[in-house]
A and B are shown apart, each in its own frame.
Chain A
Amino acid sequence: EAGVAQSPRYKIIEKRQSVAFWCNPISGHATLYWYQQILGQGPKLLIQFQNNGVVDDSQLPKDRFSAERLKGVDSTLKIQPAKLEDSAVYLCASSSRDSQTSPLHFGNGTRLTVT
């Protein structure tokens, strides 16, 4: 079974620029998550999709962050404009169904550095 695919692995941009991250979940996984992990902290949920609908985006800074999941498969997370504090690893995860015991499977993440 192929894992969660993310690209790019690394990205360096200047503040006020825009950036986009891509995620392809495990085949058949209905639930997709984007997490932000700042160095030394645990992952923080940005947005959760169930198929192509948003379940939870309460912690997404909507003035600069946006995300979409077209056709309930791939997803894109965008930041525009970026701030220095956006420097973090952006983790995409998927699960087979949104039940109590469904674990999240994480991709390798995208490390973003904003200068």
Chain B
Amino acid sequence: QKEVEQNSGPLSVPEGAIASLNCTYSDRGSQSFFWYRQYSGKSPELIMFIYSNGDKEDGRFTAQLNKASQYVSLLIRDSQPSDSATYLCAVRLGGYSTLTFGKGTMLLVSP
């Protein structure tokens, strides 16, 4: 059974701080990893994906992947109140495989 674990939060950070969101996964065969943001009452929207060990940066967002530790994280620099949402980690095996989601971490950024 493939599992994706996230702390449900809420994670509270002040405006301008760095928010760090973490995700672990159980299947060592997992090959690609996605972070989605979901505002309350809305559908998930893609932030970024990563499939190589190391860091990947996109604007204020940095995804970090450590396959040996089966760990992926998302850093949000200069957090804004508009970043307040639930962040979903999703994991995929290679080939014709499904995207398995974690339960999400709620992030609250206070002004």
Contact = CB atoms under 8 A, between A and B. Distances in A.
Interface of A: 33, 35, 40-45, 48, 50, 55-56, 91, 98, 100-101, 103-109
Contacts of A103: 34, 46, 49
Contacts of A100: 31-32, 51, 92, 94
Nearest to B31: A100
B70 interface: no
B104 A98 contact: no
B96 A104 contact: no
B45 interface: yes
Given A42-B88, A106-B43, A107-B43, A101 B51 contact: yes
A43 B46 contact: no
Contact of B44 (A40, A41, A43, A45): A43
Contacts of B100: 45
**In the complex, which range does the number of interface residues on chain B fall in?**
20 to 34
B43 A55 contact: no
A109 B102 CA distance: 18
Contacts of B8: 40
Contacts of B69: none
Interface string B11-50: 0000000000000000000011010000000111110010
A99 to B, nearest CB: 8
Contacts of B104: 41-42
B103 A45 contact: no
Contact of B88 (A43, A55, A56, A98): A43
